[in-house]
Chain A
């Protein structure tokens, strides 16, 4: 297909439109957070870093909590997700398809419903912050299982493991020297995905947070409701600075994997 054919031209137009639509809010957020008073217009009265500094002071402790939460969720996701994916990929048992569908279900259910369900089912766990962790795991675990299962089921990987076995590798050696190195890219992509999803998760968090354990997106929401628009925008800028590198990393890992398969 040449660059000048009509289908390419239309495709390029929509691709750029989508990019503009997604990126559109970013310059506005930057303008709001660096203007002394957005109601009077952008940069009327000069350029200021005051809101960005104020926002950082306000969200710094919450960022730390959100990062800790995301890392705990990541660890538990991998502890559950690796063996679960292995069984789903390598064992044929009654109910396998049902189990596969169930692992995807939390993604399809609205976060509010998941949050509400957890509160109703385990009311005593909310105070300790455990429900928040469980809610994030329910939301992110399907992405771990969804990416690891097809990789573990891959015939090429299984044949490499068999070759390693005939070369004298026991099951632990096969896991350490063949399976995990071959999964490295998928594991990294899944880790970045879980981290960014947990950092940005709002719906489940909104129902399950406690005043001492407030994730960043909930704090951003509070900022918009109760505080100055400029501070809320500045806090959002900081949030994006945290998650955009992770999103770029996901794209790079995914992209190079696709190129490797071509």
Chain B
């Protein structure tokens, strides 16, 4: 399998005078699995289309393995693209779909047969080879679409929300299968999703997009522990961002009744309070509960902060909506500070 690098250099794309992708620069290493995550309409899918050559940037360059792709049309780029709908050819069966690209390249019969076998085995769909597309389940369709894209030995694989069309119950299992398949293929992959948990679970590195701009491009651990902006903290870890006031050289007050150690000399500091850093404890700040959702063995509680913002945390017991619960930082947890 080919492993190519991908470079985006200040890529900008506007549609009807509206900037959809703004000045994005990122480098993807050969064989890396990069997840592009962001809310709907942030330009994720447009970015994939720019890499595939289906759209042309008005500014900036897309480099595949160091070569500028400006004059390379999509059918010459060797970039596998799997859209959310999978776009399988329903007038062809599974094997014919997988072999479509090789047929277009006029590959020899023996090469096609060997590649088909390889793809069927890699994607574990050998028993589906002669099935019609309409008879497949969502997960099977996804595998066929990935097999079809990989069959032409692409330099890059672009997956646009490949799990979005699946039932929520199946998504977790199919996500693990898909990751295993992508890792074993070794292809450099850009994977688009709006689901931050999917991004953190799958990626070597995550690119967080917001309104067409790159907020942060980092490992999942760095995104979690050192978010570069308020948006990343809120979007990736579901944190509540608060302005803490300094009490002395060692301590800050996050909200009335909630104090933490944070040496420094600035009068105020911006903190991200992640649900995993908080607990219900007797010594905490009393906050009113606005919702309490059971999520299997644990309750997700949302409280209202004095400034009206929502603060989420997990607790082993149900909380009563309207009543107050004492919220504290878990012992030993370091709060996440955000750049000013």
Whether B83 contacts A159 by the Cβ 8 Å rule is yes
Chain B's closest residue to A155 (CB) is B85
A–B Cβ pairs within 8 angstroms, 17 of them: A156-B85, A160-B88, A160-B89, A163-B82, A163-B83, A163-B89, A163-B148, A166-B52, A167-B101, A168-B75, A168-B152, A169-B101, A170-B75, A173-B104, A181-B89, A182-B89, A184-B91
Residue among A162, A166, A178, A184 with most chain B CB within 10 A: A166
A57 at the interface (CB under 8 A from B): no
B311 at the interface (CB under 8 A from A): no
* A113-152 interface bits toward B, Cβ cutoff 8 Å, 1 = contact, 0 = none: 0000000000000000000000000000000000000000
- Rounded to whole Å, the gap between the CB of B142 and the closest CB of chain A is 13
With contact pairs A173-B104, A177-B100, A177-B104 given, residues A166 and B74 touching in the complex (Cβ less than 8 Å): yes
Contacting residues, chain B, for A178 (C-beta < 8 A): 89
Chain A's closest residue to B100 (CB) is A167
Whether B83 contacts A165 by the Cβ 8 Å rule is no
Whether A167 contacts B152 by the Cβ 8 Å rule is yes
Whether B101 contacts A168 by the Cβ 8 Å rule is yes
Residue among A163, A170, A173, A182 with most chain B CB within 10 A: A163
- Rounded to whole Å, the gap between the CB of B218 and the closest CB of chain A is 28
Contacting residues, chain B, for A249 (C-beta < 8 A): none
**Interface residues of chain B: helix, strand, loop or mixed (majority):** mixed
CA distance A177 to B103 in the complex (A): 10
Seen from chain B, the residues whose Cβ lies within 8 Å of a Cβ on chain A are: 52, 54, 74-83, 85, 87-89, 91, 100-101, 103-105, 148-149, 152
Contacting residues, chain A, for B85 (C-beta < 8 A): 156, 159
CA distance A162 to B80 in the complex (A): 11
Chain A's closest residue to B134 (CB) is A260
A246 at the interface (CB under 8 A from B): no
Whether B104 contacts A163 by the Cβ 8 Å rule is no
- Rounded to whole Å, the gap between the CB of A91 and the closest CB of chain B is 16
Whether B54 contacts A168 by the Cβ 8 Å rule is no
Give me the 5 closest cross-chain CB pairs, A-B, nearest first. A167-B101, A163-B87, A166-B81, A159-B87, A181-B91
Which of A156, A169, A181 contacts B75, CB < 8 Å? A169
Whether A163 contacts B75 by the Cβ 8 Å rule is no
Chain A's closest residue to B82 (CB) is A163
- Rounded to whole Å, the gap between the CB of B327 and the closest CB of chain A is 47
Whether B104 contacts A162 by the Cβ 8 Å rule is no
Contacting residues, chain B, for A168 (C-beta < 8 A): 75-76, 78, 101, 104-105, 152
Contacting residues, chain B, for A181 (C-beta < 8 A): 89, 91
A229 at the interface (CB under 8 A from B): no
CA distance A163 to B92 in the complex (A): 14
Contacting residues, chain A, for B52 (C-beta < 8 A): 166
Contacting residues, chain A, for B79 (C-beta < 8 A): 166
A164 at the interface (CB under 8 A from B): yes
Contacting residues, chain B, for A184 (C-beta < 8 A): 91
* A178-202 interface bits toward B, Cβ cutoff 8 Å, 1 = contact, 0 = none: 1001101000000000000000000
With contact pairs A159-B83, A159-B85, A173-B104 given, residues A166 and B77 touching in the complex (Cβ less than 8 Å): yes
- Rounded to whole Å, the gap between the CB of B85 and the closest CB of chain A is 6
Chain B's closest residue to A166 (CB) is B81
- Rounded to whole Å, the gap between the CB of B14 and the closest CB of chain A is 17
Which of B74, B78, B152 contacts A165, CB < 8 Å? B74
9 additional A-B pairs beyond A169-B101, A177-B104, beta carbons within 8 Å, are A159-B85, A159-B87, A160-B89, A162-B74, A163-B83, A164-B89, A166-B74, A167-B148, A170-B75
- Rounded to whole Å, the gap between the CB of A156 and the closest CB of chain B is 7
